[in-house]
């Protein structure tokens, strides 16, 4: 038995630690039903980087879970049975196709299970609905589900979820044990990672984590950095892979940008080490409905420069910090903000209010919130 059953298609390195922490705190609190055609580990090649991403994360508890093959006949019947076998009070439906999710929601409600809609859609999405289509989407969500599990306040605003209806924040959570370890661990990893990348101990380091594809606009990153590359001991750690990487490397070499390091694709289990090696994070994308990496960077103690279309930054950067939200494509302003950070030794401390605002978006806060939900 499990009080809460989560149903999702995509295996997520961000959600799994939440389930693991819930199980650690209360073994009877959680079960997860995965509904896909590949099992518990991703097997498909990411078309933008040409590899199967290594998203494994060691150290978590093995929470109760089951896999249903959605490609098989009778998959809907099987998914319903899989959820009901845990005898949950609450089922949280995440990323299923809309019609399948609605069908499952009504079937569960007929059997006395409360159903919660977990969704990340918001007005910063690439294709949000508007007008009548948005009004209809809101009415469907309110009629089909007992409660909302938004990934952020932006989601609640998009659905205009009534204050009187139940809602439980279920973000793409940052694992604070991973990104905010004891200071001595961070200092050791910082020194080791800089030494491995031949980065000077006293350099100011910007880090980015992006796919080198046109969708994520890596040229904005390189061109913004190029504007400040020769004004001091400033280094760029550009994590990631993709079809544009060879061209970008050649262009950096041609222009003599010799303080740029391209480690390639970094497995998620190692990502925090590169954050610890840096001082500020760059995320200069055209569209970022939420984007968890700026949130991770804030939790890790970094400064931040990002575009105003990035949801997480728009939520966490308030007041004077909003100047670090720049219009997409404004390379001069991006470079000016980078320069501002690089030439003030206390710039990371400016972001303390934003770091405090991430407190509700950590794995531990999310796990405890679900344990308290609907009592």
**pLDDT tens, per residue, the chain with 375 residues:** 899 999 999 999 999 999 999 999 999 999 999 999 999 887 777 776 777 776 667 766 789 999 999 988 888 999 999 999 999 999 999 999 999 999 999 999 999 999 999 999 998 888 899 999 999 999 999 999 999 999 999 999 999 999 999 999 999 999 999 999 999 999 999 999 999 999 999 999 999 999 999 888 999 999 999 999 998 899 999 999 999 999 999 999 999 999 999 999 999 999 999 999 999 999 999 988 999 999 999 999 999 999 999 999 999 999 999 999 999 999 999 999 999 999 998 899 999 999 999 999 999 999 999 999 976
Residue range 255-267, pLDDT digits in tens: 999 999 999 999 9
Distance CA 236, CA 203 (A): 10
The 3-state DSSP class for residue 218 equals: helix
**How many angstroms separate the Cα of 351 from the Cα of each of 65, 189, 303, 318, 323?**
38, 22, 6, 10, 12
How confident is the model at residue 281, as a pLDDT?
Answer: 98
φ, ψ of residue 4 to 5 degrees: the values are -125, 125
The burial class, CB within 10 Å (0-12 / 13-18 / 19+), for 59 is exposed
Distance CA 349, CA 184 (A): 18
The 3-state DSSP class for residue 153 equals: helix
**How many angstroms separate the Cα of 304 from the Cα of each of 53, 212, 232, 279?**
25, 20, 19, 9
How confident is the model at residue 59, as a pLDDT?
Answer: 67
Residue range 307-356, pLDDT digits in tens: 999 999 999 999 999 999 999 999 999 999 999 999 998 899 999 999 99
Q: Is the pTM of this model over 0.85?
A: yes
């Amino acid at each position: 038995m499990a009080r809460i059953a989560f149903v999702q298609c995509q295996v997520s390195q961000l959600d799994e630690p939440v389930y693991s922490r819930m199980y650690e705190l209360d073994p009877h609190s959680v079960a997860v039903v995965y509904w896909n055609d590949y099992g518990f580990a991703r097997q498909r090649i990411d078309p933008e980087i040409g590899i199967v991403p290594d998203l494994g994360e060691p150290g978590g508890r093995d929470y109760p879970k089951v896999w249903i093959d959605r490609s098989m006949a009778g998959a809907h019947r099987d998914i319903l049975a899989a959820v009901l076998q845990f005898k949950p009070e609450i089922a949280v439906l995440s990323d299923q196709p809309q019609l399948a999710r609605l069908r499952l929601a009504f079937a569960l409600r007929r059997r006395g299970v409360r159903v919660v809609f977990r969704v990340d859609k918001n007005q910063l999405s690439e294709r949000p609905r508007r007008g009548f289509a948005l009004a209809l989407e809101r009415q469907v969500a309110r009629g089909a589900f007992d409660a909302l599990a938004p990934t952020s306040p932006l989601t609640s605003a998009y659905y205009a979820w009534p204050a009187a209806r139940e809602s439980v924040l279920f973000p793409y959570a940052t694992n604070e044990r991973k990104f905010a370890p004891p200071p001595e661990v961070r200092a050791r990893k910082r020194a080791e990672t800089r030494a491995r990348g031949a980065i000077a101990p006293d350099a100011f380091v910007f880090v980015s984590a992006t796919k080198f594809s046109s969708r994520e606009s890596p040229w904005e990153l390189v061109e913004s950095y190029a504007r400040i590359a020769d004004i001091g001991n400033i280094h760029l750690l550009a994590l990631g892979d993709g079809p544009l990487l060879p061209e970008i490397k050649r262009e950096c070499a041609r222009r003599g940008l010799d303080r740029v390091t391209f480690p390639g694709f970094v497995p998620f289990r190692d990502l925090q080490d590169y954050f610890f090696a840096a001082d500020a994070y760059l995320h200069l994308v055209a569209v970022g409905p939420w984007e968890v990496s700026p949130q991770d960077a804030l939790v890790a103690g970094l400064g931040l420069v990002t575009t105003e279309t990035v949801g997480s930054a728009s939520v966490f950067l308030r007041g004077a910090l909003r100047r670090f939200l720049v219009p997409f494509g404004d390379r001069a302003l991006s470079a000016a903000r980078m320069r501002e950070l690089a030439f003030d030794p206390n710039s990371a401390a400016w972001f303390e209010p934003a770091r405090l605002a991430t407190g509700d978006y950590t794995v531990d806060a999310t796990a405890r919130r679900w344990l308290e939900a609907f009592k």
